[in-house]
Amino acid sequence: MAEAVTLEKSATSETSNTQGKGCVLGKFISEEDGWKIVAAAKTWVGTPYKSWGGNSKKGIGGDCSGTTNKSYIEAGFSYPYQTTSNFANFARATNRFRQIDPDKVPMQAGDVLLWPGHMAIYVPFPEGHPDRNTGVIRKGKPVANDMYTAFNERRDVPYGPYNIATFRPDKYKVYRYLVVPGAAECP
């Protein structure tokens, strides 16, 4: 398990709410835990795109927020289903997820990537991983995949590995799950 963090310590974003920042809040999930989330996400690979939100069903249909939520739950890191529109508000209000500034804290497997209207699970696929290279081409050159994502129905591409910059080059935010031990540690 990773070391305990306070809100102050976990405040890697200027927009983070650091009220009560002196109290021990919890622990970011470890990289090992992050790979558990990735392993759960992998079991959704091939699921067709359906805009079903929290009703997403493995192998039958799911969207970005639904597949992310279910992957986290299956890996043992629960949170109530949130749409992408509400995810940042939920994170701020509950501190269940904390925003990570990748310039200050390295991204790790299992982090949530959040765009306006889309979310995905970050995966730094290692060399030799079967999902690292699936023939994605960017600017004429092959590129490695670095996330699991719900794609879309228009393109007839199901949930699976893909390259972030090719999928959507605009800026995204990164969120990491915080294991909250309980309110007792927060006076």
Partner 1 sequence: MSERLSLRPICAGLFAALLCPAAVAFEAENGVPLAITAEIGPLAIERLAVRLHGRDVTIRTELLNDSGERQVAAFYASTPLFGQLGIAEEYADKSFRDLRVTIDGARAALQSYPKAYFRGRDITSLVRKAGVDPLPHPDSDQRKLRRLGSVDGAQPSDWRGSVTYAWKATLAKGARSVHEVRFRALPRFALEMVDSDRLTRQVAQFCGDPARVRRLLAQADPQASAVMVERYDIPVDYLAMREATVDVTQPDKNWLGARPVATLACGLGDPAGGATITGTIDGPDQVLSVLVISMLEQPEAPATGEQHGR
Among 8, 22, 23, 59, indicate the residue that binds partner 1 (CB under 8 A). 59
Phi, psi of 185 (to 5 degrees): -85, 0
Strand partners, 98: 176
Number of residues in contact with partner 1 under rule CB under 8 A? 55
Using alpha carbons, list the distances in angstroms from residue 180 to 105, 146, 151, 168: 20, 28, 31, 32
Q: Please report whether residue 144 would count as binding partner 1 according to CB under 8 A.
A: no
Q: Please report whether residue 17 would count as binding partner 1 according to CB under 8 A.
A: no
Among 24, 132, 153, 186, indicate the residue that binds partner 1 (CB under 8 A). 153
With 0-12 CB in 10 A as exposed, 13-18 as middle and 19+ as buried, what is 12? middle
Q: Please report whether residue 94 would count as binding partner 1 according to CB under 8 A.
A: no
CB closer to partner 1, 22 vs 46? 46
Span of 4-12, 84-92, 102-110, 121-129 interacting with partner 1 by CB under 8 A:
84-92
Span of 20-28, 96-104, 117-125, 179-187 interacting with partner 1 by CB under 8 A:
117-125
Sign of CA dihedral 178, 181, 185, 187: positive
Contact 45, 161 (CB under 8 A): yes
CB closer to partner 1, 28 vs 125? 125
Residues 119-138 that bind partner 1 (CB under 8 A): 119, 134-137
What track of x and - describes contact with partner 1 for positions 21 through 50 (by CB under 8 A)? ----------------------xxxxx-xx
Specify the length of the chain in residues. Answer: 187
Q: Please report whether residue 81 would count as binding partner 1 according to CB under 8 A.
A: yes
Q: Please report whether residue 152 would count as binding partner 1 according to CB under 8 A.
A: yes
With 0-12 CB in 10 A as exposed, 13-18 as middle and 19+ as buried, what is 49? buried
